[in-house]
Copies of this chain bind each other. A is one copy, B any other.
Amino acid sequence: CGRTDQQPPERRVDFPVSVVLPAGGTGERTGLQTPKQFCLFMGRPLISYTIQAVERVLWIQNIVVVVAKEHMDLMTDIIQQFRHRKVRAVPGGSTRHRSICNGVLALGEQEEEKERLLSADRPKVVIIHDAVRPFVEEDFLYKIAMAAKEQGAAGAIRPLVSTVIATTSEGYLDHSLERAKYRASEMPQGFTYDVIYQAYQRCTESDFEVGTECLHLALQYCGTNAKLIEGPPTLWKVTYKRDLAAAESIIKETLSRSACVITGGSEQAVPLADAIQKAAGALDMALDVIPNLMGDNCRYLLKEYNFIQVSVNRSCLSEVKSILKDLEAANQALLHPLVIILVHLSCPDELSISRAMPELAAFMDVASAANLRNILLYGIQVHQSKDTERWERSVLRVAEITSALIRERSPALVGQLLQA
Interface residue? A226 (CB, 8 A): yes
Interface residue? A87 (CB, 8 A): no
| CB < 8 Å neighbour of A155 from B166, B173, B181, B419 | B173
Q: Which residues on B sit within 8 Å (CB–CB) of A403?
A: 412
Residue contact B213 to A176, C-beta cutoff 8 Å: yes
Residue contact B158 to A184, C-beta cutoff 8 Å: no
Nearest 5 Cβ contacts at the A-B interface: A245-B249, A404-B412, A242-B246, A162-B184, A246-B246
Report Cα–Cα, A95/B228, bound state, in Å: 30
Interface residue? A179 (CB, 8 A): yes
Residue contact B410 to A165, C-beta cutoff 8 Å: no
Interface residue? A171 (CB, 8 A): yes
Interface residue? A82 (CB, 8 A): no
What string of 1s and 0s marks CB contacts (under 8 Å) between A137-179 and chain B? Answer: 0000000000000010101011011111111100111011101
Interface residue? A124 (CB, 8 A): no
Distance in Å: Cβ of A180 to nearest Cβ of chain B: 9
Residue contact B404 to A172, C-beta cutoff 8 Å: no
Residue contact B182 to A163, C-beta cutoff 8 Å: no
| CB < 8 Å neighbour of A184 from B164, B173, B186 | B164
Distance in Å: Cβ of A211 to nearest Cβ of chain B: 9
Chain A residues 204 to 253 lying within 8 A of chain B, measured CB to CB, are 212-213, 215-216, 219, 225-229, 233, 236-237, 239-243, 245-250
Q: Which residues on B sit within 8 Å (CB–CB) of A184?
A: 161-165
Residue contact A171 to B401, C-beta cutoff 8 Å: no
Total identical chains: 2
Q: Which residues on B sit within 8 Å (CB–CB) of A219?
A: 173, 175
Known: A236-B242, A354-B355, A360-B419. 9 other contacts (CB 8 A): A151-B172, A160-B164, A163-B185, A164-B184, A167-B228, A172-B228, A175-B219, A233-B242, A245-B246
Residue contact B157 to A181, C-beta cutoff 8 Å: no
Report Cα–Cα, A241/B245, bound state, in Å: 12
Residue contact B237 to A161, C-beta cutoff 8 Å: yes
Distance in Å: Cβ of A242 to nearest Cβ of chain B: 4
| CB < 8 Å neighbour of A418 from B161, B229, B243, B416 | B416
Residue contact B163 to A157, C-beta cutoff 8 Å: no
Q: Which residues on B sit within 8 Å (CB–CB) of A228?
A: 165, 167, 171-173
Q: Which residues on B sit within 8 Å (CB–CB) of A239?
A: 161
Residue of B nearest to A160 (CB): B164
Report Cα–Cα, A228/B170, bound state, in Å: 9
| CB < 8 Å neighbour of A216 from B176, B183, B404 | B176
Interface residue? A284 (CB, 8 A): no
Residue contact A167 to B182, C-beta cutoff 8 Å: yes
Report Cα–Cα, A168/B228, bound state, in Å: 10
Interface residue? A323 (CB, 8 A): no
Report Cα–Cα, A173/B183, bound state, in Å: 10
Report Cα–Cα, A172/B147, bound state, in Å: 11
Residue contact B176 to A185, C-beta cutoff 8 Å: yes
Q: Which residues on B sit within 8 Å (CB–CB) of A410?
A: 404, 408
Question: Can you list 22 residue pairs at the A/B interface with Cβ under 8 Å?
Answer: A29-B233, A163-B212, A164-B184, A164-B185, A165-B184, A165-B185, A166-B181, A167-B181, A172-B227, A173-B226, A175-B219, A176-B213, A176-B215, A236-B240, A242-B247, A245-B245, A245-B246, A245-B250, A360-B419, A403-B412, A404-B413, A416-B416
